[in-house]
Amino acid sequence: MGEPTGDDSDLWRWTNVPIPETHVIGLLAGGMLHLARPWSLPGNRWLYRAAGGTLLGAGVWICASAVLAASDDDLSRPSTLIRRGPYSVSRNPMYVGWTLVSLGFALATRSAWLAASLPALIGATHREVLREELRLERAFGRDYVEYRNRVRRYL
């Protein structure tokens, strides 16, 4: 990691994307359960695919916007508060994006297992966000408190 330079800047930007373990675990567990014992959501599959595809697209767009906004900082060791782009609306746009991706995937595949895992996934993600907020407050002090008071945690 480090400052983006030359032709590697796009690669650097995408290696700077934190992939929440809770979402990966939830998607894998729900997917494996669905394959082992299919459990589909009732209703029109085309409506689920349309809604799921829309949410997937929105989630990817939010994550990509957050990556671009944070591209000048190493997210594993932040040196500045990122307040631009989607971070001006949400303190956690990547988590919002990943949650929309998870919900979209559940709907697009009509997997009741994936849908049923969402509350646990969201709860685990929220616990991680609370831990991150404590670290950011320790690291940035008053600047973070002011940012936290101006910008919502999620939406």
Residue 5 has pLDDT above 80, yes or no: no
* Residue 104: other Cβ atoms inside 10 A: 21
* 23-82 tens-digit pLDDT: 899 899 999 999 999 999 999 999 999 999 999 999 999 999 998 898 877 776 778 899
Map tokens 């697209």 to a residue: 57
- Cα separations (Å) of 75 from 24, 38, 39, 136, 151? 19, 38, 38, 11, 19
Dist CA 65 CA 59 (whole Å): 10
Residue 4 has pLDDT above 50, yes or no: no
Mean pLDDT of 83-106: 96
pTM comes to: 0.86
Asked whether residue 25 is assigned to any structural domain, the reply reads yes
Q: Is 98 exposed, middle or buried (0-12, 13-18, 19+ CB in 10 A)?
A: buried
* 97-142 tens-digit pLDDT: 999 999 999 999 999 999 999 999 999 999 999 999 999 999 999 9
Among 118, 112, 90, CA closest to 25: 118
Asked whether residue 60 is assigned to any structural domain, the reply reads yes
Asked whether residue 10 is assigned to any structural domain, the reply reads yes
Asked whether residue 21 is assigned to any structural domain, the reply reads yes
Quote the number of domains for the chain. 1
Asked whether residue 89 is assigned to any structural domain, the reply reads yes
Asked whether residue 1 is assigned to any structural domain, the reply reads no
Dist CA 152 CA 155 (whole Å): 6
Domain containing residue 73: 6-150
Helices (H), 40-151: 45-69, 93-109, 112-140, 142-150
Please give the backbone phi and psi of residue 42, each rounded to the nearest 5 degrees, phi first.
Answer: -75, 155
Asked whether residue 39 is assigned to any structural domain, the reply reads yes
Asked whether residue 155 is assigned to any structural domain, the reply reads no
